[in-house]
Structure formats: structure tokens, C-alpha cells
Amino acid sequence: MPIFEIKNLSMVFGGLTALDNVSLSVEKGSTTAVIGPNGAGKTTLFNCISGLYKPSSGEVVFKGQRLTDKKPHQIANLGVGRTFQNIELFNNMTTLENLMLGRHMHMKTGLWASCTWWRRGSKACRLEIDHRARVERIIDFLDLQSARNRFVGGLPYGTQKVVELGRALATEPELLLLDEPVAGMNLEEKQDLLFWLQDIKDQFGVTLLIIEHDMRVVMEISDKVMVLNYGKPIAYGAPDEVQKNPDVLAAYIGDEQAAAQAGGQHA
């Protein structure tokens, strides 16, 4: 049974149809990539899943619960994590604080209990140590030790992307939405991230839904690929099948070139 489903999802902004009857089913523990040209509606799809946009029609179901009626923080509490295409870190905080903020929904200490955080053995102190330990595990896992006490605004772009991934992991998601995770990274950083994504699946048991333009990354880590074009799903299947699909080629490089390329492949 799929952990996550999108059923006939449409999103209309004024007269513009950003998503047109999109359906998708994601199995637990799998990696699904959503690809397509710029303006195809990929990020809009993620925003509908996260609750940042309310879809015009259709529904999003996660672990049997409709997400379409829920607020973004409620969706996050259900176990849906998210990173962004344009980094959305809290630049006024350190890496450690950013990751601790990712733990917010798991922190059960109220305002009064917080007043005893300095007293060893108190509930607040025990919970603080537990959250810190979990965050430190993520810092070690993602090799962020050198950045832990630095303000994230001053970190290199690639490191910021990793911190954002770490913050999403700190929320302990079951489904992780990654919006162009390797965009702007150099080759070495990309390779590291691919290893981490594989480990995230294996060690944390997280289901991944990824938007990515880098086809090498898509081919390497995806179990399934969905292609969007002008808000419509035009292909869905295994990465190597999708790569050869003439509709996909046409969407990316135009009809004539796609036909020529398809002819060349048959020859």
C-alpha cells in the first residue's frame, strides 16, 4: 500500500493552470523524482503537498490522512519534511540552532518547565540533552562539525544546502520533499549528497520525493520518475524508460530534435 498519494490534483492561479489533474502514488521507502522544464509546476506541486497552497481540486493523502484540509504546521507534524529550491534557512541563527528549530515539534517542554533547564536532572534539562544528542547525530552524519556554531548566513552555498537538509531531517520526517537538492553544488558536493540521500533512505527509513534538473542524479537515485510539462503529467515510470520517452524528449528539446534523436537511437 502506498504511503503517499496525489489524486487528480489541479491548481489554478487566476486564469493560469499550474497543475492539471496530476496523480501520483509513492511507495514507502522509495525515491520518486519529479522532473520537467522550468515552469512545469514542480515547485507548485510541492507547495500543494506542504499546505502552502490550497489546491483548486483533487486531494493529497499521506498515511491515509487527507493533507488538503490541513495547515502547513499540521502537515509537518504528521511527518512531511521539506527543503527549498531557494534556501530558506534562518540566517540569524547558527547551524546548531537551525537544526534545533527543526526539532521544535518534538519538544514537549512548556514555558514554565523551561525555567528549570539549567538544573541537571530536571525534565527540561533531560529533554534538551536528548534533542541536542539527536541534532549532534545529524551534524556528524552530514559532516557539519565545522559549521555547527557558525551563523548559517556566512556559510558557503553548498554547505547551506546541507544544513537545510539537516534541518529537514531533524523534524524526523517519514516523507521528505527535496526541491532541487544539488542545484548550485560542485561535483564533490553532489557526490556527497547522493551518498547521504541513499543513507537517509537506508538508515532513517525515509521516503524521498525529489525535484531535480540534474539527470545524472535522477538516474542514479530514483526508483520512479514523473515528468511534468505545463502542469500535466506526460510520463511516469522507471528512469531509463522515461528518459527514452518521445514526449519527454519533446518537452525538453523540442519536437523536431526529439524525432531526430529518436530516429538516431533506432538506427
Partner 1 sequence: MEYFFQNVLNALQWGSFYALIALGYTLVYGVLSLINFAHGDIFMVGAYVAYFAATMFLGEVGLGPGVTLALIVPLTMLATACVGVALERIAYRPLRRKGAHRLYVVITALMCGLILENGNLALLGASRKSFPELVPTTVYAFAGLSVTNLKLAVIATAVAAFAVLHFIVTKTKIGLAMRGIAWDSFAIPLMGVPPDRIIVFTFILGSGMAGLAGVMFAMAYPVLEPYMGALIGWKAFIAAVIGGIGDIRGAFLGGFLLAFLEIGVAAVFPSTMRDLIAFSVLLVFMWQRPTGVFGVARNQKI
Output the furthest CA–CA distance in the chain (Å, rounded).
75
Beta carbon nearer to partner 1, 60 or 89: 89
Binding status of residue 126 toward partner 1 by CB under 8 A: no
Least separation in angstroms between CB 255 and partner 1: 35
Strand order across the beta sheet in which 65-66 lies: 16-26, 4-13, 57-62, 65-66
Write out the three cell numbers for 142. 552530514
Binding status of residue 105 toward partner 1 by CB under 8 A: yes
How many residues interact with partner 1 (rule CB under 8 A)? Answer: 32
Applying CB under 8 A, among 102, 166, 181, 231 the residue interacting with partner 1 is 102
Binding status of residue 223 toward partner 1 by CB under 8 A: no
Binding status of residue 181 toward partner 1 by CB under 8 A: no
Beta carbon nearer to partner 1, 92 or 145: 92
Which candidate, 225, 217, 184, 187, places its Cα nearest to that of 84? 184
Applying CB under 8 A, among 54, 66, 104, 119 the residue interacting with partner 1 is 104
Applying CB under 8 A, among 4, 53, 62, 84 the residue interacting with partner 1 is 84
Q: Which residues would be at the binding site for partner 1 (CB under 8 A)?
A: 50-52, 71-73, 76-77, 81-82, 84, 86, 88-93, 97, 100-102, 104-105, 107, 109, 111, 114-115, 117, 167, 171
